[in-house]
Structure 1
């Protein structure tokens, strides 16, 4: 069998499970750190429940993902999670799901591992969303998830640092509502509402234009030029105001 014939014959098998996201569908990629609970608390001993060094590594990783060959218009990170919203007309790799999943997971794993100084991996899943409303809903959902997790984490680690066992802490917090948890923190002098916004609501990123002074090497003339850079927002708006921000990118 000639190579050309074999190539055509075998590619059918290689592409048999290819999934392509339809045009006119919004695309979001969500990445999660694999085994990061153990990595951050047992191996690297980051400060619990939140550590600025870890946050900065996640921000750096997210910024690289925004500039690795895809048109990402908005990015959001909280804890060990990253969400990327692509331009509505993104067609890189023919919108093949496996290409996005493999490329983004590999890029994130490589960057974070270099920052950390040891191996760390991410998984990735593509989330197709039918319209702008669902895009807004998605990011509001992830922000609310961040808030709930932050409240739980602050309560959990506060009690653990007091010497309470894992079993007892888990049992004491199970089924308890927001008011109970905030009052628990308050009883130890911690006002949850005054904690840093990035811990509770995550970090948003998008491209912005800025002016930079430059020198024309031929004429020696100083000129202002327009450049692009990633804006990192550590104090995101909430609720409807956050929804309005997300709508700007759809």
Structure 2
């Protein structure tokens, strides 16, 4: 390509390269989603259509980007974890974050009519998502990250369930409901729901309480064991051929949707089958 005297401006471009041999978590959040959900009359405290739409968009991102090992979503956020061997865009942070945010936003808008067939999108109120990238050195921090997000899901959903039950069933104003819940702990919110409204929070739909985990079912021989992944598998120990073979397995694998506890040990016992 011919050069021009203006090409010097390229020297101002700065690429932030993410550290090698670390897990990359790309977390997406809905931009202005409180206003967005109000505009489209999302059901309170949970709109199953909206949550299923989030899951569907996330699955499409995973189908398009095989470097994603798994993802966790709740409310208007989704977190995608990329394997330590990921070299997508040479691990340039801006390219990774912008690709995930734009791909997820595009899929969310494209799939919207499937989940909200009677509510067309308004050009003045379109959904969009922003993102960030965070690096974690081992599977332990990745596990704690997902545990943190699921704990956040539980805290927020218990509050929202209590708040909107007081408003929609109990006839409280939003101000009074907020005051009634101020300073209460989880046990007190559970007691309020059961004693006043006969609601056992543990019987609420599990997706609302636990969020959604998406993993690739790569089969028993798909990846290294969890101990190998965290203790002995460095990027340098895997040939390019091995890395490409594992990426092809992830690309072909079925994406499984789970609504399970990710804080306890059981889910992570066989974690090496889906994350490497």
**Short-chain TM bin:** 0.7 to 0.9
How much has 1:209 moved relative to structure 2?
A: 4.8
| 1:11 equivalenced with 2:20 (yes/no) | no
Match of residue 161 from structure 2: 154
Match of residue 45 from structure 1: 41
Match of residue 187 from structure 2: 179
| 1:169 equivalenced with 2:177 (yes/no) | yes
How much has 1:243 moved relative to structure 2?
A: 4.0
Which blocks of at least 5 consecutive residues in structure 2 are unaligned? Answer: 113-119, 220-251
Tell me how many residue pairs correspond in the alignment: 229
1:138-172: CA deviation from partner (whole Å, max 9, x where unpaired): 01111111111110110011011133122221122
Select the structure with the greater relative contact order (CA < 8 A; seq sep ≥ 6): 2
- CA distance in 2 between counterparts of 1:49 and 1:164 reads 15
TM-score by length of 2: 0.77
CA RMSD across the alignment? 1.9
Matched residue SS, 1:32 = strand
* Correspondence list, 1:1-250, <5 A: 3=3, 6-7=6-7, 9-13=8-12, 15-16=13-14, 18-40=15-37, 42-116=38-112, 117-118=120-121, 119-161=126-168, 162-187=170-195, 188-209=197-218, 228-236=253-261, 238-244=263-269, 246=271, 248=273, 249-250=275-276
Q: Return structure 1 stretches of 4+ with deviation > 4 angstroms.
A: 245-248
TM-score by length of 1: 0.85
Higher strand residue share: 1
- CA distance in 2 between counterparts of 1:51 and 1:245 reads 32
2:25–2:80 contact (8 Å) kept in structure 1: yes
Which blocks of at least 5 consecutive residues in structure 1 are unaligned? Answer: 211-226
- CA distance in 2 between counterparts of 1:19 and 1:204 reads 29
